[in-house]
Chains A and B, each alone.
Chain A
Amino acid sequence: MVLQFHQHIITELLEDTNGGLVILSSGLSLSKLISSLLLLHSTSQGTLLILSPSSASLKSKINFHLKTLNPQFYQIPVEITADLPINHRHSLYSSGSICFITPRILIVDLLTNKLPTSIISGIIILNAHSVTETSTEAFIVRIFRSLNRTAFVRVFSDRPQAMVSGFAKAERTMKCLHIRKMHLWPRFQVYVSQELEMDPPDVVDIRVPMSKYMVGIQKAIVEVMGACLKEMRKTNKVDVEDLTVENGLFKSFDEIVRRQLDPIWHTLGKQTKQLVSDLKTLRKLLDYLVRYDAVTYLKYLDTLRVSESFRSVWIFAEASYKIFDYAKKRVYHLVRSDGMKLDETSKGVKNKKKKVKGDNKDTEEADVTSSTSSNGIVLEEVLEEAPKWKVLRDILEEVEEERQKQGMLREEVLAEGEDTSNGIVLVACKDERSCLQLEECITNSPKKVMQDEWKKYLLNKVQLRDVVHKNKKKKSKEPKGFGILNGVTPISPAQNTETSGVNKQEHDALMAAASKLRNLAENNHVVEDTPQSNLEGHVRGKGKRKLGNRNGPIIIDDSGVQSNNKEDVTSGKMGMSDTKNEAHMDETSPVSAGRFCETEHGGISVDDTVLRRHTCPSAMAKDGKPLPPVHFYALESDQPILDILNPSIIVVYHPDMTFVREIEVYKAENPSKKLKVYFIFYEDSTEVQKFEASIRRENGAFESLIRQKSMMMIPVDQSGHGLGLNFTPDSDLNTAQNSITRKAGGRKEVDKEMQIIVDMREFMSSLPNILHQKGMRIIPVTLEVETMVRYYRIPVLLIEFSQDKSFSFQSASDIGDDVTPNSIISKLSLLALHFPRLRIIWSRSLHATSEIFASLKANQDEPDETKAMRVGVPSEEGIVESDVRAENYNTSAVEFLRRLPGVSDSNYRAILDRCKSLAELALLPVEQLAEIMGGHKAACTLRDFLDAKYPTLL
């Protein structure tokens, strides 16, 4: 069923055949809106191009809705990328169908006249908020408009806040996309609110009090944050109005601050820069406080303490001590073996305490380094469970009771596949991690989950102890050089800080508990820390590690895990294509949604086991109370989960504005459905604050947009004229296509027609756009760039600065006293020394670069594109030019590979040839590596690095 307000939007948009900009509230289902709009397309109108959004999930959601809205609509839009050969692209361009197309290939085809613009009905852009004058989208529209004035350009965004960042953002966006009309559809718009509020779902709002320590931690973080903000205010560099704790809760705060600081970044002292990064850390800590369990939170803090550098301002703030202290107290505390508490402040924790029995003896046997002073100090586990866990369980039990009353259970067991009101409970969490953990909480018990996390925590510690210990004694026999020899260095400072008094005792007690646990685990499974270099040993080691860590009943059997992993590998690619949506459609079972887009199939099997357990009466939860089928969904994965799963009960475990709106939309679309929604908030938490603030912020953004709209100055001929050279009158449009793109308005300074050959890959950047604006002809080709110094007389390195950022590498105070290999100065100097023929251009901005280019080209011959393409291409037979293009490689994997020890310029190509992926490489035994890499030494270096034991911290 199509929403009425979506129809309103479409009607309004279609009134102007030239296009328009639509901004709607997040969660009001942009993907459905687009799908409805696409359904109106008919082949006779010409081909419709949609610029592929950077978020793959938006695209897959559009495809999904296309199918559900109109099952007969089999034609899922094809995606045009650089991988498609030109003739194939051409036939798609003239097919009259709907195509997704990457901006890069579209601009290239426009510039090379490979796109017959006259048969294009229009272009749809889905990310209005990220379009600027210099972005490829603007370049595309400018060229496109110069060739076709009648087609439409329709632009959308569901991120209103992003549309108001910066000065007159909406207006500038409209200008550069040649759009005259803006349509605003906030949640408070009358059609929207009427439709969504007509028959709202039943809402149960549950406020869970946080534990005492959680409250304490939150208070401390907010306090430290406040202190940091106060410091920040003192610098007088950032608008005081922006510096509030409430703003500090959002990611966009970093942007606000950086936008103001970037132009003067090099003039800032270390202190201010550190403050900026500290605020970011603190925001994360607040967020994780309500998302992670107590042990994981402590572990994260430990990690931070080690990695975040000791320079951080906040770590030394007085309140920070409380953060660490309370976090620890949620997990354990220390008592004397005679039962007296070592730390008086830690009373009043009412959770059941379990003493680690026989600790003392084990300590003496296993821990050689522990000094006598540690005698008598025993670790007591606290392992505070997240208060929301119990609430979730209560809800589920209540739901199940209700269900049983209604006698639905029986029916369902009988008619398993085809139930529409399936009684599934959807639990929505922010992230995948929480999903997995909650799932375990429900299948096992919260206590078990905490125990497992605790064991993992301790095992991490004991591993470190081993490392240090071995290192003290002597070098170990194995040549595992990397981890053991060098890895320890960063730990020592952390250790040194812990050597004194109570800390030392605490450390020993932790170690004792850990080693005891480890011994236990080792008795069960022998493998733990022997990184084998042969393949089988490796795989086995991994499997067992899992067992060892969980140390108890495992939800999925080992083979299940393995096959899942394999599925992941194979379906990684598939996820991107359309087959995925078929999976959604075909599976009528209520569990068809996996969590990751890519691991659809893997996800199903996991959920299946869980669900079966719950629906099967014999496999009830441990305390005997039955639970309904539950599906855990990570909001991050951004799928049309409501439409796939059709739940009648939703538990919003982590409140999120967008998801709430999605629920409203879902209810409005299914008016007959009984829908109950539980919200679980932590009372008086920043979680609530953030949720409420996000709504306020969005409303504020819309209010500002409404104001802007009323005052906007959009030139009337925006639709066709102007050619995007917003500043200059354009030249004659009625000449041949090519000459238009060449002249493109022809600015005065450029006397003769200049042309620049641009490598295809560079179309990700804005420079071609600006060069074109300046009146140069842009010729896209594929260039062999890696060998520039060898083939060109004057190779040039362009160092271009961003207009909004400061023009310098670093401030004088950051230069330091010594010549250090890591500094940019050293790298540039070396570059100059090794490539004395290399010239360097320093450019203030994009526009300055185009000036420099024009000036350098002034008295030179124009480049020849056919010659340019042949440069650096090996002429021997069998080596085809297209084979060496970078876009054919998984560049991040190749870059990763090249940074591994043992891998060199001379052997990495062989690895690419003979090994499929990094994951595969990780499993190869050293002999095979030696064969591939052409040397035993390099192979050993690599293998050792891969297997080197990571030095555990703290």
Chain B
Amino acid sequence: QNRNAILVSNRQKGNPLLKYIRNVRWTFADVVCDFLLSQTSCALYLSLRYHLLHPDYLYYRIRELQKNFKLRVVLCHVDVEDVVKPLLEVTKTAMLHDCTLLCGWSLEECGRYLETIKVYENKPADIIQGQLDSDYLSRLTHSLTTVRHVNKTDVVTLGTNFGSLSNIMGASMEDLARCPGIGERKVKRLFDTFHEPFKRVE
């Protein structure tokens, strides 16, 4: 079968969600889950509005899946105003039956989850470990903005004023304070980040 496509259960025929799966191919197939994303991962789709009408539906669907998958996603479309109670029920069902709950507030968002899980099937976990773009400015911004309230404009200001990160790190409070837009509190936060020891207690 087609490995690069999402296999969609015939049950989902007519689901408007399918319109929004555009970045990966998909095809109908006879599968027990709603969406077969890879050999080891699958997803069930549930609209909260539907859940309110058929509270047992999710449970039976999960039971059908049996233990064949490593990752079992319950993709919940939040399409009602009063969410607290139904969402609690869905959360509980998903958790007690070993499913990962993902919520989307629009069909676009739900579709994007399916696409992403498929596209990222073999992707390493780099980006959730906090390593983003590799160009200099992004990385500099990425690191400097760990200091609270330091924003992109400040990063540019610091960069142009000191010329390099090591100069920024070595800057005195006075020098930092000379930068337009860097107020007292930012100066202190930056300075403390650079000069307070990593370990507070030896």
Contact = CB atoms under 8 A, between A and B. Distances in A.
B139 interface: yes
Contact size class for A?
35 or more
B166 A947 contact: yes
A57 B173 CA distance: 17
B128 to A, nearest CB: 5
A893 B7 CA distance: 46
A696 B43 CA distance: 59
Contacts of A905: 129
A306 interface: yes
Contacts of B167: 542, 545
A432 B188 contact: no
Contacts, number: 309
Contacts of B108: 812, 815
A809 interface: yes
Given A564-B172, A819-B119, A899-B142, A839 B94 contact: yes
B47 interface: no
Contact of A486 (B102, B134, B155, B163): B134
Contacts of B142: 899
Contacts of A946: 164-166, 169
Contact of B196 (A297, A542, A573, A949): A573
Given A848-B84, A892-B147, A900-B143, A807 B195 contact: no
Contacts of A811: 105-106
Interface string B109-137: 10011011101110101011111101111
Interface stretch (B11-19, B28-36, B52-60, B175-183): B175-183
A919 B170 contact: yes
Contact of A896 (B147, B155, B181): B147
Contacts of B117: 829, 832-833
Interface string A819-839: 101110111111111101111
A168 interface: no
Contact of A832 (B73, B87, B148): B73
Interface residues of B, number: 96
B115 A922 contact: no
A922 B165 contact: yes
Contacts of A817: 22
Nearest to A827: B128
B197 A916 contact: yes
A487 B173 contact: no
A717 interface: no
A569 B170 CA distance: 10
Interface in A525-563: 529, 531, 538, 542, 545, 561
Given A573-B196, A821-B132, A892 B146 contact: yes
B130 A917 contact: no
A796 interface: yes
A529 B131 CA distance: 29
A104 B165 CA distance: 35
A564 B175 CA distance: 12
Contacts of A700: none
A296 interface: yes
Given A306-B156, A833-B121, A896-B146, A292 B196 contact: no
B88 A855 contact: yes
Most chain B beta-carbon contacts within 10 A, residue among A431, A531, A845, A915: A431
Given A432-B177, A483-B136, A825 B112 contact: yes
A892 B173 contact: no
Nearest to B177: A432
A917 B95 CA distance: 43
A463 B148 contact: no
B116 A486 contact: no
Nearest to A491: B137
A890 B197 contact: yes
B132 A815 contact: no
A250 B40 CA distance: 55
B194 interface: yes
Contacts of A841: 91, 95, 101
B70 interface: yes
B165 A836 contact: no
Most buried by B among A296, A837, A900, A919: A919
Given A487-B135, A953-B156, A432 B174 contact: yes
Interface string A480-509: 001101110110000000000000000000
B100 A832 contact: yes
A785 interface: no
A810 B177 contact: no
A948 B164 contact: yes
A890 B160 contact: no
A808 B104 CA distance: 8
A637 interface: yes
Contacts of A829: 102, 113, 116-117, 120
A482 B136 contact: yes
B95 A489 contact: no
Contacts of B103: 842
A4 interface: no
A476 to B, nearest CB: 14
Given A284-B181, A836-B100, A901-B139, A919 B169 contact: yes
A308 interface: yes
A573 B102 CA distance: 45
B5 interface: no
Contacts of A827: 127-128
A892 B193 contact: yes
Contact of B153 (A308, A485, A487, A796): A308
A274 interface: no
Nearest to B135: A486
Contact of B187 (A432, A490, A840): A432
Nearest to A883: B201
Centre residue among A573, A833, A912 by max chain B CB count within 10 A: A833
Given A460-B160, A819-B116, A912-B199, A300 B174 contact: no
B91 to A, nearest CB: 6
A851 to B, nearest CB: 6
A807 B185 CA distance: 32
B196 A808 contact: no
* Residue from the set B23, B92, B172 with the largest chain A CB neighbour count within 10 Å: B172
A568 B109 contact: no
A596 interface: yes
Contacts of A953: 156, 160
A896 B156 contact: no
B189 interface: yes
A599 interface: yes
Nearest to A484: B136
Given A819-B116, A888-B201, A900-B143, A636 B164 contact: no
Interface in A651-706: none
Contact of B95 (A599, A836, A839): A839
B166 A923 contact: yes
A737 B189 CA distance: 41
B170 A895 contact: no
15 contacts: A564-B172, A569-B195, A598-B191, A634-B184, A796-B95, A809-B109, A815-B109, A834-B125, A852-B88, A896-B143, A896-B144, A896-B147, A900-B139, A918-B169, A945-B136
Interface of A: 83, 266, 284, 288, 292, 296-297, 299-300, 303-304, 306-308, 431-433, 436, 460, 463, 482-483, 485-487, 489-490, 529, 531, 538, 542, 545, 561, 564-565, 568-569, 572-573, 596, 598-599, 602, 606, 634, 636-637, 794, 796, 807-812, 815, 817-819, 821-823, 825-834, 836-845, 848, 851-852, 855-856, 887-890, 892-901, 905, 911-912, 915-919, 921-923, 945-953
Given A460-B160, A842-B103, A893-B194, 19 more contacts: A303-B157, A436-B177, A486-B135, A487-B136, A569-B195, A572-B196, A596-B188, A606-B174, A815-B109, A830-B128, A832-B100, A833-B41, A840-B100, A893-B198, A917-B194, A918-B194, A922-B165, A945-B139, A948-B164
Of all A-B residue pairs in the complex, the 8 with the closest CB atoms, nearest first, are A950-B159, A636-B184, A432-B177, A812-B106, A486-B135, A808-B105, A922-B169, A836-B71
